[in-house]
A and B are shown apart, each in its own frame.
Chain A
Amino acid sequence: MRVVLVVAHPDPNSFSHAIASTATAALTRAGHAVTVLDLYAEEFRAAMSLDERLAYHSERPILDPMAERHAGIVKHAEALVFIYPTWWSTVPAILKGWLERVMVPGVGFVFDEKQHVRRGLTHVHRIVGISTYGSRRIYVRALHDNGRRTLLRALRLNTAIFTRRSWLGLYQMDNRTVEQRAAFLRRVDRKLRSL
């Protein structure tokens, strides 16, 4: 499978990056073709600009070469993997901005003649999300885990009808021992090898 792995953490030494390395290795060993989009390393711009907003409903909604390249990669993806830390119950701004600036009409979805949204990612059959949380799981659930919902519901509505979804969360991140973190990486490895 062609897998696109999107990572959003500002610190290259972060645990999110350790997860990304483990995931990339596991996917490659299983024979998948992996493309990693490390949004901070690429200095992806988070905020949609005025020009991009004005072009959003036009024939050519992408103006930025980096967003164009990412969109080209996404158009050939069969699986999307997202790795990020959850902040204020949702995805970091840079990942939210990636959805807004790359998943534009013609890539993430299409408008039909009645201006209704139709699926644009029918080539994607698999979505995997991996996130770290500072809070306990019950608290994350109480706050509605909005990042997970954005990816597994809002984005999922635009992928193939039988898209399978998986979620791996490491909760209470700051109180975890080295062994528990290593165990989580093994879980990531297992999950992605059997993708």
Chain B
Amino acid sequence: MNAYVVYCHPDPESFTAAIRDRAVDGLRNAGYEVRVSDLYADEFEPAMSRQERLNHMTPHARHPDVGRYCDNLRWCDTLVFVYPTWWSGQPAMLTGWFDRVLLRGVAWELPEGATTVTAGLTNVHRLVVITAHGSSKFLNVVEGETGRRVVGRAVRVLCHRFARTTWLALYNIDRSSAAERQAFLDRVERRMHGLGQPARRTSSGRRS
């Protein structure tokens, strides 16, 4: 069981950093081997360069600073994204990570004449997003929940055919109480721990 956590927040003392710590605890306690990438600590460059754009269709054309991310992507069976939602989606840092790391020969293949990519990350059976929103659930639905769809659809199609997605979100964070935030952190750790357990169903039919 290999879990790869991609974490993105500029502030090491943010609530998002606390989420990452609790998620990693939950995964480790469940028996996962965990690797973490901290994009801000790595000083990752999110803007795809002109040369990378020109090499886009060339398989295995990796810029040197993305190689280890590609290796981690191929190593994991559980892929976890931890980030704050800004303008209804991922921060530019993580958007750029998708742009530059999801490469041909790593994350996708394009058969001759096809217009849609085929999955390259068939090793990934579980996608997890853990995020905090400043705004309400209602406002995010009106805005179109673009961050949720980017992972749940655009990244999801690159994974194993039967990959499942888990979405954990805290809304209205600026107006939340300390108790609500604490409860969310507990929920994150519980759910991450639960990923390592065989599925059980309660009498009401819900997954426990």
Provided the pairs A88-B98, A93-B48 are in contact, do residues A136 and B115 lie with their beta carbons within 8 angstroms? yes
Which of B47, B86, B89 has the largest count of A CB atoms less than 10 A from its CB? B47
- Which residues in A have their C-beta under 8 angstroms from that of B175? 115
Which residues of chain B come closer than 8 Å to A91, judged between CB atoms?
95
Is the beta-carbon distance between A92 and B48 smaller than 8 angstroms?
yes
Asked whether any CB of chain A lies closer than 8 Å to the CB of B185, the reply is no
- A14, A52, A153 interface centre (most CB from chain B within 10 Å): A153
B91 at the interface (CB under 8 A from A): yes
Chain A residue at minimum C-beta to C-beta distance from B147 = A146
**In this assembly, does A87 line the interface, its C-beta being within 8 Å of a C-beta of chain B?**
yes
- Contact B46 A139, beta carbon cutoff 8 Å: no
Instruction: Say whether A103 faces chain B, with CB atoms less than 8 Å apart.
Output: yes
Total number of A residues with any Cβ neighbor in B under 8 Å: 47
Given contacts A46-B92, A47-B46, are A139 and B116 in contact (CB under 8 A)? yes
Contact B87 A10 (CB under 8 A): no
Q: What range describes how many residues of B lie at the interface?
A: 35 or more
- What 1/0 flags go to B130-151 for Cβ under 8 Å of A? 0000110001001110110110
- B154 beta carbon closer than 8 Å to chain A: yes
Q: Which of B76-97 contact A (CB under 8 A)?
A: 86-93, 95-96
Known contacts A143-B149, A143-B153; is-contact A46 B96 (Cβ 8 Å): yes
- Residue B40 interfacial (CB < 8 Å): yes
Shortest beta-carbon distance, A52 to chain B, in Å?
8
Q: Cα distance A99–B89 when bound, in Å?
A: 11
Q: 24 A–B contact pairs at CB < 8 A?
A: A47-B10, A47-B96, A52-B10, A87-B98, A89-B153, A90-B150, A90-B154, A92-B99, A93-B47, A93-B92, A94-B47, A96-B89, A96-B96, A97-B93, A97-B95, A99-B86, A100-B86, A100-B91, A103-B87, A135-B115, A139-B115, A143-B157, A146-B150, A155-B87
Ranked 10 nearest A-B pairs via Cβ: A93-B96, A97-B92, A149-B144, A146-B146, A144-B149, A89-B154, A93-B46, A154-B143, A96-B92, A10-B50
Known: A40-B50, A96-B90, A153-B144. 7 other contacts (CB 8 A): A10-B49, A14-B53, A47-B96, A90-B89, A143-B149, A150-B146, A174-B115
